[in-house]
Structure 1
């Protein structure tokens, strides 16, 4: 059986390189047979695509898609950083 860190790296690479997703900011954690995706994306469709790519890459694991969908501020609005 493949070591969890190798599976996580493979899933992370797939999320970054797959034409459907191209996401770099998603954290991939594996605990036993559980695969957790965490992070933020714009749009529910992107969240679903990330889950699909992760599942295709590691189909034997139980996927927990904990990615949050956020609304990105419209261009031109002031961004306030605290």
Structure 2
């Protein structure tokens, strides 16, 4: 079995290179049979797609998805610069 660090690096690459996700800001840590995801994404669909890509790349791992949805909308109001 490949090392946990090597597997995590391969999973990060899969998420970064898959056209459905193309995500660089998600952290992936592998511990035993678990892959733990953390970070922020712009929408719930992206969060679900990241998990889908990982399930395809490593079907034997249990995915623990702690990725938060943080919408990146337009700023509200005016910024007061002093």
When normalised by structure 2's length, the TM-score is 0.88
Distance 1:79 1:42, change over 3 A: farther
Taking the aligned partners of 2:55 and 2:17, their CA distance within structure 1 comes to: 15
The yes-or-no answer on 1:61 pairing with 2:57 is no
> Structure 1 segments of 4 or more deviating over 2 A?
75-80
Match of 2:18 in 1: 18
| Cα RMSD (Å) | 1.9
Count of residue correspondences: 80
Taking the aligned partners of 1:44 and 1:77, their CA distance within structure 2 comes to: 25
Gaps of 5+ in 2: none
Once the two structures are superposed, residues 16-38 of structure 1 have per-residue CA deviations (whole angstroms, 9 ceiling, x without a partner) of: 00000000011000111110010
Gaps of 5+ in 1: none
